[in-house]
Chain A
Amino acid sequence: MGFSVRKADDKFVNAIDDFQRYRDKKAWELAFRSLTNVMNVDPKLMAPSKDGFMLPARQRIMELLVTLPPEGREAYRLFNDAPAKQLYDQALAAGGNSLADEVPLLRKVYEQYFITSVGDQAADRLGDALFESGDFLGADATWAAIIDRYPDTDLNPLRVQVKRGIAMARAKRLDPLNALIAQIKEKNAGATVTVAGADVEATAFLMKQIEPTTKPAATLFVKGDNDTPLNLPASDAPAWQCEFLNREITEQIAQRVNGWRWQGANLQMAFFVPSSDTDGKRVYVNWLGACFAIDATSGKLVWRTDKFEDISQKIDQLVQSLPDIFAYSTVVIPNDRVLFVRVPVKRINYDEPMRLTCHDSNTGQQKWSSESGTLSSYTFLGKPVVVGDVIYAPGKTREGSELMLLTIDPANGKLLSSMTIGQAAAGSNYRGNTVVPSSNLTFFQGKVYVLTNNGGMVAVNPATKQVEWAYQCEGPPVINQQEWWAYQNMAQKLKTAGVITIQDGMLYFKERGVDDMYAIDLSGPTLKWKRPVDDSDMIAGVSEGRVVTLGSDAGAIDVNSKALTWSTRIPLDNGMIYPLINGKSLFVFLGRGVYEINTTNGALVKIFRGSDKDSMGGSVWRAGQKLITVSNQAVTAYPLGAAARAN
């Protein structure tokens, strides 16, 4: 049993069952009456839909109403047209004030009264509002509902389809857009619509919306320019190298882990690859809570928050508290600031939670910290994302297991809001503290997508503070105290990071320690496919219609057929690797060097040995004209190959 969301109660489920039963018997009055008591269900509650999705209960109601046959719809309009129109008029009146006031009311009409006489108009207007706010997927879904589920609409279907096509183009959903164009050609060849006062041929207009792109696929680990082809350096000689590893500390960590016989669970802590980020001027590194900045030009240490030796006094506490090594994070934010998720070295003890600290990127001076103030009661569960002038961060209360999305003011670290996403399946560590795996966040077109690494993917609308949908799946095993003894005397399985990536309107995700990968069509949402992979695999990115994976083998999975198209064995020693996709090449930093692999056929193009010998590999990224590698022992910068400089 993994991650779960707040579910609607049995009363709701029974009401839905009753509705379906009466609907099938065409007992309309009884059917609508069964829904009466649940129409105003708490919008935060979720109800199961198909394929493992959980949808807001109100949306579930809408899904059911559209399944009514024509006579059922007529009966529904008889009872509900009046309140629907009243609510719609309220929405229009509110729209005179602001879009933000109009949208919630429109959404209510759309969810509760879609099949009434004003439902299509409300949906169309809602689609316009969502499009204007940048939620192209939401707009697409809303207009699609009119075409697919409102057969007697008075709206011009061609016009709605064209608007839908524009939303698809903005959302980069090119395959569905091409299908839409073909459909329009078949049914309405040569038809025109009015756009910006001019009559245009519908299909030609939509075809112009498709931007030709040679851009490489999205990858979560891009730093800086990823459009210019990247050529590995010709020489192993670095531009600079900063060795930070304190071997004594890592030996002590390994001794403690081996002494406790927890090798099977957390030996990766002894080969910890620090998280890092850059603003082009400096490279910021977070090594087990001791953070520092290196000048990107000279490689000199600019500042640090703690001496590495300070950790050696607290090895026992650090090991026994068993922090989630994937929770340590570094994020550069605007206004010369940098965020770290860490246990501050001076506070390492058996129970200290992960904190969020904000520092001046020029001097390292701490600006604020979650050690005090409105954030002090939270444990931070992974890398935050910065959107505009807010920070979204995953977290939980100290001993709680509810996963929360925290909205924070980056200027002063004040908690602006918090919302519960769901209930994690929590374990406990050796100290008896509640343990929840760190989450991954990504922001895309107005929504925050949360990969729980606990058996769930959740889409949150931060503006409305609503969970828009949740997908529940089998999560990794939950570690509990008694399980520690079960990891004795065994090698730890490679643990790579959980990853979400979004490309062409499709969301691909794979949780940490789980042996399934998923592809979700965000326009539904619907599950496009699920397929088994190795539990040590991670998603490196999407390139040319293939999901590129990385684990003991690098591989590529076709996004349509889900077949494994190629596989290349790589000598992976450490799961804390963060690769880079540039053009048709995958770059991954391993113990034997930086491997360049062709993402089309898996051919090993080149191995760049570099000068970070005897490391376990780690992150590779590009900053300007330099290739930066961050391993478990050093940060190294190399001048890029000649062709890249010429470009």
Chain B
Amino acid sequence: MIKLKLIGAAMCVLISTGLARADEGITVSASGEVKSKPTVVEIGATVSADAELTADAIVKYREAKKKGVDAITNLKMPNVTMESNGYTVNAAVDQQQQMRMMQGMGGGGTATKQKVEVSEQMKLTIKDADKLEPEKLMDTLLKVIDAGKDAGLVIGPPPATNYYEMQIRAQSGKGASMVLFKLGDINALKEQAYKQAMNSANAKAKRLAELAGVKLGRVMSVQEGQPKDENSGQNASRAMAYMNMGIPFVPNEQTDVSSNLCGDIPVKVVLSVQFEIVK
């Protein structure tokens, strides 16, 4: 019984000490940012075919895919690859009829025949983009886009078929871009950014301690915050961005950072650091 009371008292002391610590010390927020050239460029491409006869849809799809793949392959660029997420088979939608229904109009003059649509989203990837001069990178990009378009691939998102679709894309702010510049593996960059953030936190805390006339102690806690810009790790905004590029999106990627601009891409971290005040 006495043992239990002693343990309980010790727990209270520990908890109160901890509570007391949460209110003590100096807490600062600091960020670190490191920029780097994109290492990977991704271009979305769509192969799709629709027809009333399934056999026609298959012929169209296969031929369109083969010619698209051959066109990219024949560029003979070893750093350009093409990947696919697989194909889908759907009932094709008549865009005009859909719009009429959305506007509360009738379906149109005649019944629309049901068509089969076979569609496949592909990703064209240009690797080692950081090893290319900007002009050379642009030439490569444009060659790939041209070859794809000549072969009949839809590069980027398909064109908006109605006014509402244009509005939605405009609101997302990503309507027009065909290309996504990415940093491949950002771990090393994040490491540098963390160092920067910690150094900045140290410096801030020291200054505050000087001003307060106290002595700065050890680090008691570190919390990572969310940078307030579009290069966040949020799946939802990345999903929207990828969708608007026409690129297949894989959720929960934690290691990639991307941009529409071909320039240095920042990797940011924000830390909240609590320092002890030495008495």
Contact = CB atoms under 8 A, between A and B. Distances in A.
Given A531-B53, A570-B152, A571-B152, A477 B63 contact: no
A485 B49 contact: no
A592 B151 CA distance: 11
Interface string B16-54: 000000000000000000000000000000000111110
A483 interface: yes
B59 A566 contact: yes
A486 B108 contact: yes
A486 B106 contact: yes
Given A555-B60, A569-B151, A489 B103 contact: yes
A488 B103 contact: yes
A186 B50 CA distance: 47
Nearest to B100: A486
Interface string A545-577: 000000001010000000111111111000000
Contacts of A486: 100, 103, 105-106, 108
B96 A490 contact: yes
B127 interface: no
Contacts of A531: 53
B188 interface: no
Contacts of B256: none
Contacts of A127: none
A533 B161 CA distance: 21
Nearest to B160: A491
A363 to B, nearest CB: 43
Contacts of B110: 474, 476-477
A487 B109 contact: no
Contacts of B253: none
B150 interface: yes
Contacts of A644: none
Secondary structure at the B interface, as helix, strand, loop or mixed, is mixed
A260 to B, nearest CB: 14
B163 A489 contact: yes
Interface string B163-181: 1100000000000000000
Contacts of A488: 99, 103
Contacts of B95: 490-491
Given A485-B105, A534-B51, A555-B60, A515 B113 contact: yes
Contacts of B60: 553, 555, 564, 567, 569
Contact of A564 (B59, B68, B105, B162): B59
A581 to B, nearest CB: 19
Contacts of B161: 490-491
A593 B228 CA distance: 46
Interface residues of B, number: 35
A493 interface: yes
A8 interface: no
A474 B112 CA distance: 12
Interface in B203-258: none
A491 B162 contact: yes
Interface string A575-606: 00000000000000000100000000010100
B64 interface: yes
A553 to B, nearest CB: 6
Contacts of B151: 569, 604
A562 to B, nearest CB: 10
A565 B105 CA distance: 39
B59 to A, nearest CB: 5
Nearest to B59: A564
B206 to A, nearest CB: 61
Contacts of B1: none
A569 B67 contact: yes
A571 B96 contact: no
Contacts of B49: 553, 567, 569
Contact of A607 (B68, B150, B162): B150
Interface string B133-172: 0000000000000000111110000011111100000000
Given A489-B164, A532-B51, A568-B152, A604 B67 contact: yes
B64 A479 contact: no
B163 A490 contact: yes
A287 B164 CA distance: 33
A602 B153 CA distance: 16
A478 B162 CA distance: 22
A264 interface: yes
A604 B55 CA distance: 22
B83 interface: no
Nearest to A569: B152
Nearest to A553: B60
B150 A489 contact: no
Contacts of B106: 486
Interface string B110-136: 100100000000000000000000000
Contacts of A533: 51
Interface in A467-482: 474, 476-479
Nearest to B58: A564
Given A555-B60, A569-B49, A569-B151, 11 more contacts: A486-B106, A490-B96, A490-B162, A532-B52, A532-B113, A553-B60, A553-B64, A567-B49, A569-B60, A569-B153, A592-B150
Interface of A: 264, 474, 476-479, 483, 485-491, 493, 515, 531-534, 553, 555, 563-571, 592, 602, 604, 607
5 contacts: A491-B95, A553-B64, A565-B59, A567-B60, A567-B64
7 A-B pairs closest in CB distance: A477-B109, A569-B152, A489-B163, A532-B52, A490-B99, A567-B60, A486-B105
